[in-house]
Amino acid sequence: MGMPRPPIWARPEPSARAPRFSRERIAAAALEIADAEGIDAVSMRNVAARLGAGTMTLYNYVETKDELFALMDDALMAESVFADGELPAGWREATAAIARRTWAVLARHPWAVTLRQGPAIGPNGMLHFEQTLAALAGTGLDHAGKIDVLTIVDAYVFGSALKAGEMRAETDPEQVKAVVEYGMEQLATGRFPHTAALLNGGAPGSAEAVQLPSTADAMTAQFERGLQAVLDGVARLVEA
């Protein structure tokens, strides 16, 4: 086995007196491509073309596609970081603020949920992690407890963002029609009474209608309700 490759931030940027590009500019170009065309369109060639450079020129700044993804990930983390003094006081308010901002970033860049950049953690990622720990500093939780809380909140945020992204995705109307028709046929068999009740009346034997979130505002409201439920659970841990 060869020596492990250090993260891109462990080496200095090109030492030319006036380098043509910066890592921030390269990451921004990659984000623009991903937002417009999806993460699969991000390649060294496409990023170089957007920057008006040759592909080999880009390799002077970024040696691999994994490094490019790492730069993109850290650029996303920069959108999640709070300025000094901006984070609210109180563990619950601060944790909620971080969760909301992270969810909003993922909503702006829905492809980011599936971005795989390996174990590399950049400077903005480290600062984001530091701020999440700072938010829990006054809880009295030990180190393991804080990690548990961060893991639980992150799992909810990323899971909610993934589901919201799926609901926002554009789908062929004919495909949607075919799926709905199949679903209605299955409901008519009587094998799925709870599903039928959810879609038609809220609960078996109930006339209460259930509205599934279909707009940005509705999905944001659903995220907020779930976030408060998660934080209610955390509050019980803190009180204990």
pLDDT score recorded for residue 236: 93
With a cut of 60, say whether residue 225 has pLDDT above it. Answer: yes
Which residue has better confidence, 3 or 131?
Answer: 131
19-57 confidence digits (pLDDT tens): 688 999 999 999 999 999 999 999 999 999 999 999 999
With a cut of 60, say whether residue 118 has pLDDT above it. Answer: no
Range 8-169+217-239: architecture per CATH: Orthogonal Bundle (1.10)
pLDDT score recorded for residue 67: 92
With a cut of 50, say whether residue 209 has pLDDT above it. Answer: no
The domain limits of the chain are: 8-169+217-239, 174-209
Task: Quote the tokens at residue 145.
Answer: 């407890």
126-182 confidence digits (pLDDT tens): 999 999 999 999 899 999 999 999 999 999 999 999 888 777 665 567 777 787 788
pLDDT score recorded for residue 207: 39
> In which residue are the tokens 């040759």 written?
54
Checking 43-52 for CB contacts under 8 A at 24+ apart, the result is 44/68, 51/21, 51/25, 51/26
Length of the chain, please?
240
Distance CA(112)–CA(109), nearest Å, equals 6
pLDDT score recorded for residue 121: 80
**What does the pLDDT average to over 103-118?**
83
With a cut of 60, say whether residue 8 has pLDDT above it. Answer: yes
Half-sphere exposure of 145 (CA within 13 A, CB side): 15
Q: Is the pTM of this model over 0.85?
A: no
Q: Which of 100-109, 152-161, 215-224 has the lowest mean pLDDT?
A: 215-224
